[in-house]
Amino acid sequence: MNAAKAMVPMSQLLTTEREDGALLRAEATPNGMPAYLIGKIISVAGGVVVDLAIFLVPGRFLVPGLTVGSLGSWFTPGWVLALGLVTTLPIGKVLGSVFSGDRGQGLLTLPVLALIGTSGIFCPVTSMPEGAQWTAQAFPGYWLGLGMRSALLPESAVTVEIGESWRHLETVGVLAGWAVAGLVLAPVVLRRMARRESGSAVAERRAKALRGVG
């Protein structure tokens, strides 16, 4: 679920760089907004990969039944993580344009945690009410969790999943749909946000922050 949680730091980065004028500078350069988006996806994704390795490598030796002992067993986590990052990080940028400031970021964390809670990580989705199951399947978090469970858990664990299936094709379809929507929408939202920014507004926010520190 590291990919899903990456939405929050991506959103926080946008808030910070909006405050210090980095977003305004990106808008002023040719193709600056798509380049800015791609650069942030790569940088945050690198951190997520490192975090995942920190958990998986010791887990290989400490958690019984974790199926990461062969090169082939890393294929599914690899494509799920890659597709998950392309899906969630642009969404994080879009959310960051809506939830700005420390208070807004705090409000953003709550629905992200709720989505993680219904992803099947903590308890089987099939044990939840039917409405919660349908809601979970509408968002990327459930499919990221399902993909990782299919890669890391024994095959017998599929019996507690919806339809007793890992549903890889559905996972690819849903995540790809969210990824396309995010990659199309994020640059548009960021450009519109940057147009509302100005050097004087950035300077005013910086001066306000300095007064608060002083």
Q: How confident is the model at residue 114 (pLDDT cuts 50, 70, 90)?
A: confident
Per-residue pLDDT for 205 more than 70? Answer: no
Full domain range(s) for residue 111: 2-213
Q: Whole-prediction pTM value? A: 0.76
Tokens read off for 188? 């548009």
Decide: residue 184, CB within 10 A, 0-12 exposed, 13-18 middle, 19+ buried. exposed
CB 37 within 8 A of CB 81: no
Q: Is the four-CA dihedral 181, 122, 110, 77 of positive or negative sign?
A: negative
Position 103 confidence tier, pLDDT thresholds 50, 70, 90? low
Q: Which tokens belong to 132?
A: 């919660």
Average pLDDT over all residues of the chain: 78
pLDDT by residue (tens digit) across 131-163? 889 988 999 989 998 998 888 888 888 999 999
Residues 175-187: pLDDT tens digits?
999 999 988 888 8
Give the pLDDT confidence of 25-37 residue by residue, as tens digits.
777 777 777 787 7
Q: Give me the pLDDT at residue 91, please.
A: 85
Tokens of 169: 């094709």
**Who wins on pLDDT, 109 or 60?**
109
Number of independent structural domains in the chain: 1
- For residue 36, what are its two tokens? 């800015």
